[in-house]
A and B are shown apart, each in its own frame.
Chain A
Amino acid sequence: MMASDTAALPFVDRRNTARRAHIWLGALLVLVSLASLAVGASGTSLWGALMKLAQGEALTLTERVVLWDIRAPRLVMGICVGSALAVSGAVMQGLFRNPLADPGILGVTSGASLGAVTIIVLGAALPAVVQTTLGAGLLPVAAFLGAWGSMLLLYRVSTRAGRTSVATMLLAGIALGALFAAFSGVLIFLANDMQLRELTFWSLGSLAGASWLKLSVAGPVILVSVALACTLGRGLNALALGEAAAHHMGVPVERTKAVAILAVSAATGTAVAISGGIGFIGIVVPHLLRLATGPDHRGLLVNAGLLGASLLLVADMVARVVVAPAELPIGILTALLGSPVFLWILLRKRGLVDM
């Protein structure tokens, strides 16, 4: 009975699948979050600490620092960064109608890297006032400025008379990205070997730099832009039919594009600024979801946020446990897990693998 109904109305079926996926993926994120608080190199136990708190006992200093200053900000940062990358990837793929698009394609990531490289290599030359005022915040702030600067430049380049050309933006994004990478290259050439090693580790990405101070600045920016991006479902669905068709369907095309670009740049620029380069979440997560729940952006965007956050948290748990007391850079893990999955998706689509 249901089968014939839904066969007649595939779209309704897809929407229901996506809605059910909200619940499942939400539950997954809650579970993974709890695990993320409970797992770490030190033996500090989440349950032990909760029991103590329930009985009104005080926590030891180590318990407080491990749970509150290390694991909790990492958890929040993982959710912010993972959802930012995955939702941005989904939006970019929809906007450019290109399955290979990811947040890096706008050059925002290269802009953020340039900011970070500048601070690592030339930071010591800054006035002492700036250094002491910003302290450990110097690098993320610079990366953030780099991301936003590159985004504004890109927007100026590809907008004429209030109309943004997506095609120009795609090409200009690649060109600007290459230009910023070249500037970074100049700085890398000037760097000493200590700085080079620092750069290498930064470019591999990590959630180890999480702190409440960073999150108090970066968290709201990411959450607001991710929420904004999640409202773009209807507009992106319409844009899939072409700009003219979307316009006739009553979708404000220019505004949709502007919001998409602003939200994606703010989300990924900030995410890269606080966590370094973390690849493959933005490209793999939306593809996985499209396979499971279909291409309707209305459900897809929220699901991408939930799954992206969960995946990054899982990768982070592996990163901090597998070589403890040392830690793997998380970018290695997302690429290690992401590349084979992506390849599998490709082969499956072309009918080369049946599973």
Chain B
Amino acid sequence: MKRRTLMQGLAKTAVACALPLAALAQAYDTSRIVTIGGATTEIVFALGEADRLVARDSTSLHPPAAQDLPDIGYMRALAAEGVLSVQPTLILTEPGAGPPETISVLEAAALPLVVVPAPYSAEGILTKITAIGDALGVPDKAQTLADQVRAELDDVAAQVANDTDAPKRVLFVLSTQGGRIMASGTNTAADGIITLAGGINAIDQFEGYRQLTAEAISTAAPDVVLMMDREGDHSSTAETLFTMPEMSTTPAAQTGALVKMDGLLLLGFGPRTPKAAQALHDVLQEQS
């Protein structure tokens, strides 16, 4: 078992580090693909290769056509027989697919699994696109898409560089459940998109998402509050949010600066990220 685990680890590392090489060395049967991870699915659609998809995980909600595909469940709680039942020839996944038992059964069934790296940066999106293009055997299409996304990202970056005002301090609020604010620290998709849009994450004391104390929010002094736009979410209108005592003292409350954006668009780090960054940048500029 030890040797097998080690070999699996090595194999995965090799795939993750040297995808372009691996793709040259090994051509996958790409006729029936399962994608795991929202951005991965979006990229396959953006490459125009969606007809090879036979199923997707529950985080793959965009484009809407993806939702017509069978759902194999949440990416960290996959069932081996469910995955096998759609008879895939290749699995494209972002890091974190599991549980490990399911992955080892899929490997026992000789199912190739390609792990696409997924860092929250501009460069990360381009790497994803290239990796997926190579795995699908369409490097040219991937190059075209990557060039286009790069141009769009560069365009936003150029605008950010030309911004004359001081960068806005942005507080990303994941939820306000129970009257407590769950905010995003560093090393998150929210942090990544705020940076791309030329803002500054108002919270940099911790990694990931945490509930904040009231005083930390006052200290963070955000100029703008950013939230995901969810249907039927009445709890987070600007009025209720900014009347929370900890919020009322912030610059954002004084100008009523609450920005709501589609969650998948905002945090997906896929081909639509330049649009998300552009939209967020525009809103941040309007707040001046």
Listed in ascending order, the chain A residues whose CB lies under 8 Å from chain B are 40-43, 61-62, 65-66, 69-71, 132-133, 135-137, 192-194, 197-198, 201, 206, 208-211, 213-214, 320, 323-327, 329
Contacts and interface: CB of A to CB of B under 8 A. Distances in A.
Contacts of A62: 84, 87, 109
Contacts of A194: 76, 96
Contacts of A71: 81
A209 B98 CA distance: 10
Interface string B69-110: 011111011011111111100000000101111101100111
Contact of B110 (A61, A210, A320, A327): A61
Nearest to B83: A325
B285 interface: no
A71 B102 CA distance: 12
A83 B111 CA distance: 34
B208 interface: yes
* Contact-size category for B: 35 or more
Interface string B128-154: 000000000000000000000000000
Contacts of B100: 135-136
A67 to B, nearest CB: 10
A192 B98 CA distance: 16
A141 B246 CA distance: 44
Contacts of A329: 77
16 contacts: A62-B87, A65-B105, A192-B207, A192-B208, A192-B209, A193-B209, A198-B76, A208-B77, A208-B80, A209-B101, A210-B101, A211-B101, A325-B79, A325-B82, A325-B83, A327-B79
B234 interface: no
Given A324-B82, A327-B77, 20 more contacts: A41-B79, A41-B85, A42-B85, A65-B84, A66-B81, A69-B105, A69-B109, A136-B5, A136-B104, A197-B76, A201-B76, A209-B99, A210-B101, A211-B104, A211-B105, A214-B101, A323-B73, A325-B82, A326-B74, A326-B79
B166 interface: no
A210 B85 CA distance: 18
Contacts of A214: 101
B1 interface: yes
Contacts of B72: 325-326
Given A193-B209, A194-B96, A320 B1 contact: no
B82 A41 contact: yes
Contact of B101 (A132, A198, A201, A208): A208
A206 B98 CA distance: 13
Contact of A135 (B5, B55, B73, B96): B5
Contacts of A40: 81, 85
B248 interface: no
Contacts of B101: 136, 208-211, 214
Nearest to A329: B77
A197 B98 CA distance: 12
Contact of A326 (B73, B80, B109): B73
B85 A70 contact: no
Given A70-B105, A326-B58, A197 B85 contact: no
A202 B109 CA distance: 25
Contacts of B5: 132-133, 135-136
B71 to A, nearest CB: 5
Contact of B77 (A69, A132, A201, A320): A201
Contacts of A206: 77
Contacts of B102: 208-209
B5 to A, nearest CB: 4
Given A40-B85, A70-B81, A209-B101, A325 B208 contact: no
Given A42-B81, A69-B105, A320-B81, A325 B74 contact: no
Contacts of A70: 80-81, 84, 105
A326 B5 CA distance: 26
Contacts of B87: 62
Contacts of B108: 65, 69
A197 B55 contact: no
B109 A61 contact: yes
Interface in B115-132: none
A66 B82 CA distance: 10
A325 B72 CA distance: 5
Contacts of B48: none
B66 to A, nearest CB: 15
B99 to A, nearest CB: 6
A209 B72 CA distance: 16
Contacts of A324: 82, 85
Contact of B74 (A43, A132, A197, A211): A197
Nearest to B104: A136
B85 A325 contact: yes
B73 A132 contact: no
A208 B84 contact: no
Contacts of A208: 77, 79-80, 99, 101-102
Nearest to B5: A135
